[in-house]
């Protein structure tokens, strides 16, 4: 049990999480398994963001600045799809290579440190690396907490107590949080910063050009930047709410696959793997929407008379494509899990909830509903299903390839059978 030393005058202390347990109402009565990731959430909520604020089609109000160049037909080049595919593939390749390289480097460093303490690298497992990392992180949080307490030492006692206890509670929460959840917090912080930028009038033109994706804009970079872009508070809030639940669950699955799956490779942290998965899922969802939109645009233009007005395509933005990947991955990894739709007091099996969402998006696409980017949702769900089947093995392949290029060989943990 990890425990931070108590700060002077404050009884609360930082401690590691107790053994993980599942609240019984999360699972069907016949299930006897446990899902440790549910310790942080009494219920995984299928939030209304997935129904009402996901990958929203941007439709600026009349008072907002717009860019006429977005509809300039001369920007529809023959390479619009090819360039988008190349950009998405290049970014995903680089992100995975970077994540695999950093993971190998960090894991190798921890193996060496533990081996020096033990006198041998034999028998080192992921659990030993996790404990060592947590002890070091605990000490960093202790030092940070003490600095805060000393900084506010000149304030009245009531403020010192409030700030001190608040700091300890925050540090305790950070210490207990799994790696994937910390990544989700970081993503939400980036989303929040981008949202604030949308509210600065002087940045309106810059945000329209760089943080929403329009299939005819000729800019491939917005395939990525639009994943972190939310122009309304409710869109931001519900997507971050969903990410903290389903993103954590998906990250927990990736961690367990590394620890107990077929790879047996040592891994100090799953944070970078989850980050690479999230970025790639968002790119794939944006790319799917881009390709279908451009193809549909071309078909309509060919069918219309030359004198008829050209169809207008709306821009899209939001992280829901990547979140749909997390939702689908969670549903496939934990099929007995029950979820709760926000504001609805009835739990439903996750497979029914996710299936209903997919059906709604398919109907929306077929009927031409334009408020939401249904193709981005379906593309994200498809990526999540694919990653459930091949993702863990693909990650091991990336780590091996990175080791071959940059040196060092990922070590396998030696298990006792």
Say if 367 falls within a structural domain.
yes
d(C-alpha 199, C-alpha 217), whole Å: 22
Residue count of the chain: 417
Greater model confidence, 151 or 264: 151
Say if 136 falls within a structural domain.
no
Q: Minimal CA–CA distance to 53: which of 236, 295, 218?
A: 236
Contact between 229 and 57 under an 8 Å Cβ cutoff? The reply is no
pLDDT confidence bin for 93, thresholds 50/70/90: very high
What's the pLDDT tens digit per position in 274-292? 999 999 999 999 999 888 8
Say if 155 falls within a structural domain.
no
Q: What is the CA radius of gyration of the chain?
A: 24
What's the pLDDT tens digit per position in 220-276? 999 999 999 998 899 899 899 999 989 999 999 999 888 776 667 888 899 999 999
Contact between 267 and 400 under an 8 Å Cβ cutoff? The reply is no
Say if 398 falls within a structural domain.
yes
Mean pLDDT of the chain: 77
Tell me which residue range forms the domain holding 246.
33-121+179-405
What's the pLDDT tens digit per position in 281-334? 999 999 998 888 888 777 776 666 555 555 556 667 778 888 889 999 999 999
Say if 273 falls within a structural domain.
yes
Say if 21 falls within a structural domain.
no
In this predicted structure, the answer to whether residue 194 has a pLDDT above a threshold of 90 is yes
Q: Minimal CA–CA distance to 325: which of 259, 271, 279, 371?
A: 279
Q: Which of 175-189, 208-222, 265-279 has the lowest mean pLDDT?
A: 208-222
Sign of CA dihedral 342, 181, 272, 20: negative
Say if 144 falls within a structural domain.
no
User: Tokens 């695999």 identify what position?
Assistant: 100
In this predicted structure, the answer to whether residue 14 has a pLDDT above a threshold of 70 is no
**The total number of structural domains that make up the chain:** 1
Q: Which of 64-68, 139-143, 153-157 has the lowest mean pLDDT?
A: 64-68
d(C-alpha 217, C-alpha 173), whole Å: 43
Greater model confidence, 408 or 115: 115
Phi, psi of 237 (to 5 degrees): -60, -50
Say if 266 falls within a structural domain.
yes
d(C-alpha 22, C-alpha 295), whole Å: 46
């Amino acid at each position: 049990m990890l425990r931070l030393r108590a700060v002077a005058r404050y009884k609360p202390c930082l401690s590691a999480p107790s053994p993980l347990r599942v609240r019984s109402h999360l699972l069907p009565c016949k299930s006897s398994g446990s899902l440790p990731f549910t310790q942080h959430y009494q219920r995984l909520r299928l939030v209304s963001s997935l129904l009402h604020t996901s990958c929203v089609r941007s439709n600026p109000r009349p008072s907002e600045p717009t860019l006429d160049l977005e509809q300039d037909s001369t920007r529809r080049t023959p390479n619009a799809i090819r360039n988008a595919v190349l950009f998405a593939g290049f970014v995903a390749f680089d992100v995975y290579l970077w994540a695999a390289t950093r993971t190998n480097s960090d894991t190798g460093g921890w193996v060496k440190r533990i081996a020096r303490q033990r006198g041998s690298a034999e028998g080192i497992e992921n659990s030993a690396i996790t404990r060592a990392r947590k002890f070091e992180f605990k000490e960093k949080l202790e030092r940070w907490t003490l600095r805060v307490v000393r900084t506010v030492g000149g304030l009245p006692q009531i403020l010192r107590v409030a700030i001190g206890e608040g700091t300890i509670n925050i540090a305790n929460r950070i210490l207990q949080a799994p790696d994937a959840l910390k990544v989700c917090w970081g993503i939400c912080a980036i989303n929040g910063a981008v949202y604030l930028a949308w509210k600065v009038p002087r940045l309106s033109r810059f945000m329209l050009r760089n943080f929403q994706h329009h299939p005819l804009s000729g800019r491939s970079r917005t395939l990525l930047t639009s994943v972190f872009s939310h122009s309304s508070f409710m869109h931001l809030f519900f997507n971050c709410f969903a990410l903290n639940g389903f993103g954590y669950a998906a990250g927990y699955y990736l961690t367990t696959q590394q620890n107990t799956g077929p790879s047996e490779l040592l891994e100090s942290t799953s944070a970078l793997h989850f980050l690479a998965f999230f970025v790639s899922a968002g790119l794939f969802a944006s790319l799917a929407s881009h390709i279908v939109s451009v193809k549909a645009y071309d078909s309509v233009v060919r069918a219309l008379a030359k004198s008829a007005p050209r169809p207008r395509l709306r821009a899209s933005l939001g992280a829901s494509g990547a979140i749909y990947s997390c939702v689908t991955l969670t549903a496939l990894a934990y099929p007995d899990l029950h979820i709760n739709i926000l504001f609805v007091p009835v739990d439903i099996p996750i497979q029914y909830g996710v299936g209903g969402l997919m059906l709604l998006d398919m109907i929306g696409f077929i009927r031409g509903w334009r408020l939401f980017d249904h193709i981005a949702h379906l593309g994200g769900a498809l990526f999540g299903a694919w990653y459930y089947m091949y993702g863990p093995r693909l990650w091991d392949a990336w780590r091996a390839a990175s080791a071959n290029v940059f040196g060092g060989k990922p070590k396998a943990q030696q298990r006792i059978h």
